[in-house]
Amino acid sequence: MYLTKTHHLTGEDGKLESLVRMWSRNRASYVTNGGVLNSNSYRKIGKNKISVPTQFYKVVFIPSENKMIAFLIPNLKIESSLKVM
């Protein structure tokens, strides 16, 4: 796993990031993430009207095992715990 952008994550976001790093340890993996802008429901902030994503996605692919998992997370404070099944 190559870290091209690093930022401080806390709470449940941090738990997901730690889980992804654990899955990626000692094997090649591809991780992509970003924001989702729903056409009518996102808001804009600031003088320059910056769009605020309503959701975030994270996709992890481990080619050696031909496995992939994806997450779609609302842009809200997460009250419940991240549970791994």
Q: Is 82 exposed, middle or buried, given 0-12, 13-18 or 19+ CB atoms closer than 10 A?
A: middle
Q: Which single residue is written with the structure tokens 């924001």? A: 35
DSSP single-letter state for residue 33: E
Per-residue pLDDT tens over the stretch 42-65: 788 899 988 888 888 999 999 999
Residue 5 lies inside a defined structural domain of this protein: no
Residue 62 lies inside a defined structural domain of this protein: yes
Count of domains observed in the chain: 1
Per-residue pLDDT tens over the stretch 25-37: 889 999 999 988 8
Residue 79 lies inside a defined structural domain of this protein: no
Residue 58 lies inside a defined structural domain of this protein: yes
Residue 4 lies inside a defined structural domain of this protein: no
* Domain assignment of residue 58, given as a range: 11-74
pTM strictly above 0.85: no
